[in-house]
Amino acid sequence: MSQLEKGSKKLQNAWAFYDWANSVYPLVITSSIFPIFYASLFSDEFPNINVFGIDFKSTALISFVTAIAFLVVAIISPLLSGIADYVGNKKRFLQFFCYLGALSCIGLYWFSLENIMFGLLCYFFGLIGFWGSLVFYNSYLPDVAFEEQQDGLSAKGYSLGYIGSVILLVASLAIVIGKEDQAAIDAMRLTFVFTGIWWIFFSQYTFYYLPKSNKEAKKINTSVFFNGFRELVKVKNELFKDLSLKRYLIAFFVYSMAVQTVMLVATYFGEQEINWPSESGKTMGLIISILVIQLVAVGGAIITSKASAKYGNIPTLIVINVIWAVICVCAYFVTEPIHFYVTAGFVGLVMGGIQSLSRSTYSKFLPKTDDTASYFSFYDVSEKIGIVIGMGLYGLIDQLTGSMRNSIVFLTIFFIGGVILLLRVPKKTISAQ
């Protein structure tokens, strides 16, 4: 097959379609079905599991595994970025991480308390496969589209990902809803297999049309492995020369710890801390809450965008952080499904807003340059390190106190800290203020 030209519609569609393929992972595995499945393995009488001779609370254990996985991702992301910028066959790297993640999803079918180590390894490598593939997937954007096409193509990918993931989630619901006890657990296991198959099957369209690279193949040498890290240190030194940008990044790092942690643990909290009427009611309720969060997040991003245009980015971010702090305090008292639905609505409202506004604010603060890839690599690594700290602390408090409610309230400190640090960002003559 002859290689498609950069900017061609077919090549762009093939690239964007990988979002359709891989977005089922964060929705089905990270946010919805797997957290419900994992919690169903433990009873109220026996909520703990012994791993490596240590007695872990189930929710604390999954928090620690998530934190370690993100630590690995934070370490390998710059390494992979350096390789992606250098080698001539990065499609092989994209395929490797895609298959690693997808096969790990399929491996979750055998997740059980008897096979706890195997199950946790599948969860661990699924996360690494997903985030590792994104490094190479994102690096293809300038290879397949011209600069004026890239914003539209990126948005198209996100849209395809949202539609595809919701389709599989609805199909998964049709399999799971109405079943009780072991039948429900077995049905959820099947959804993990479907997720892996969906990811592998639909990615083939992307792999068929994507070029190996836009560069001539080169041999990897030792120095290549450290290119990404050297670039991050260079970017960090450049960014921290600007006091406004330095203080904004510190503020973002602090409040992002809490934002990302809440998003990752919301389903586990709802499963364990809410008085659901039945097991099937719990499954339906939690998935409805996740869909509410996703739908409201779209509106939240629009409202936040309009607010920032009128009042400025930093003042808007301060208000959103205050709302997040109030949500965390209120979550401590949430016990009934209706309370959880309302809380989910507010989480969706500020979740979409704080993510989109944080990234655009950072973009506005950046030095004027055509090469922003390294700056956003630094931003992404900072965010992932924040997840490691946030999930680690969340799991530790959950483990020590025996309650996820205490962990959620503790996150309030990060949002209050974010407000204080944002107030210290010097005003500049840009629209971010």
Q: Is the dihedral of CA 258, 263, 264, 269 positive or negative?
A: positive
Higher pLDDT pick, 5 / 63: 63
As a whole number of angstroms, the distance between CA 190 and CA 1 comes to 36
Q: What does residue 48 show for φ and ψ, rounded to 5 degrees? A: -110, 165
Residue 342, CA distances (Å) to 28, 179, 349 in order: 22, 26, 11
Q: Which of 105, 114, 116 is nearest to 58 (CA)?
A: 116
As a whole number of angstroms, the distance between CA 144 and CA 122 comes to 32
What is the chain's percent helix, strand, coil content, to nearest 5?
A: 80, 0, 20
Q: Is the dihedral of CA 332, 333, 336, 342 positive or negative?
A: negative
Categorize the per-residue pLDDT at 419 as very low, low, confident or very high, splitting at 50, 70 and 90. Answer: very high
First to last CA, the chain: 51
- Count Cβ atoms below 10 Å from residue 53 Cβ, excluding itself: 5
% of residues, the chain, pLDDT over 70: 86
Instruction: At 294, list the tokens.
Output: 């996703």
**Helical segments of 312-372, H only:** 313-331, 337-365
Q: What does residue 55 show for φ and ψ, rounded to 5 degrees? A: -85, 110
| pLDDT over 70 (residue 85) | no
Q: Which of 207, 249, 224 is nearest to 102 (CA)?
A: 207
Mean per-residue pLDDT for 24-38? 88
| The pLDDT of residue 221 | 61
Could you give the count of Cα atoms lying within 13 Å of 397 in the half-sphere of its Cβ?
Answer: 14
As a whole number of angstroms, the distance between CA 138 and CA 264 comes to 22
| The pLDDT of residue 430 | 46
Categorize the per-residue pLDDT at 6 as very low, low, confident or very high, splitting at 50, 70 and 90. Answer: confident
Mean per-residue pLDDT for 350-354? 79
Contact 349, 259 (CB under 8 A): no
Mapped onto helix, strand or coil, the DSSP state of residue 263 is helix
pTM of the model: 0.79
Q: What confidence tens digit (pLDDT) does each residue in 225-268 have?
A: 666 667 777 777 777 777 888 888 899 989 988 888 888 888 88
Q: Which CATH superfamily is domain 8-214+221-225 in?
A: MFS general substrate transporter like domains (1.20.1250.20)
Higher pLDDT pick, 233 / 274: 274
Q: What confidence tens digit (pLDDT) does each residue in 136-182 have?
A: 787 777 777 776 676 577 767 767 887 888 889 888 888 888 777 78
Beta strands 54-57 and 48-51, pairing class:
antiparallel
What average pLDDT does the chain have? 82
Q: How far is CA 231 from the centre of its chain?
A: 24
| pLDDT over 70 (residue 274) | yes
The fold adopted by the segment(s) 231-433 is: Growth Hormone; Chain: A; (1.20.1250)
| The pLDDT of residue 303 | 84
Categorize the per-residue pLDDT at 205 as very low, low, confident or very high, splitting at 50, 70 and 90. Answer: very high
Residue 293, CA distances (Å) to 287, 290, 308, 380, 408 in order: 10, 5, 21, 23, 18
Largest CA distance in the chain: 62
| pLDDT over 50 (residue 429) | no
| pLDDT over 60 (residue 433) | no
What's the one-letter identity of residue 297?
A
As a whole number of angstroms, the distance between CA 276 and CA 58 comes to 19
Sequence-distant (≥ 6) Cβ neighbours of residue 310 within 8 angstroms: none
Q: Is the dihedral of CA 375, 91, 387, 304 positive or negative?
A: positive
Q: How far is CA 79 from the centre of its chain?
A: 20
Mean per-residue pLDDT for 102-111? 96
Categorize the per-residue pLDDT at 45 as very low, low, confident or very high, splitting at 50, 70 and 90. Answer: low
As a whole number of angstroms, the distance between CA 204 and CA 195 comes to 15
Could you give the count of Cα atoms lying within 13 Å of 272 in the half-sphere of its Cβ?
Answer: 27
Instruction: At 36, list the tokens.
Output: 């419900």
| The pLDDT of residue 241 | 76
Q: What confidence tens digit (pLDDT) does each residue in 306-320 have?
A: 888 888 889 999 999
| The pLDDT of residue 355 | 75
| pLDDT over 80 (residue 104) | yes
Higher pLDDT pick, 196 / 360: 196
Instruction: At 103, list the tokens.
Output: 């096969």
Contact 170, 194 (CB under 8 A): no
As a whole number of angstroms, the distance between CA 334 and CA 146 comes to 49
Mean per-residue pLDDT for 21-42? 88
Residues of the chain with CATH 1.20.1250.20: 8-214+221-225, 231-433
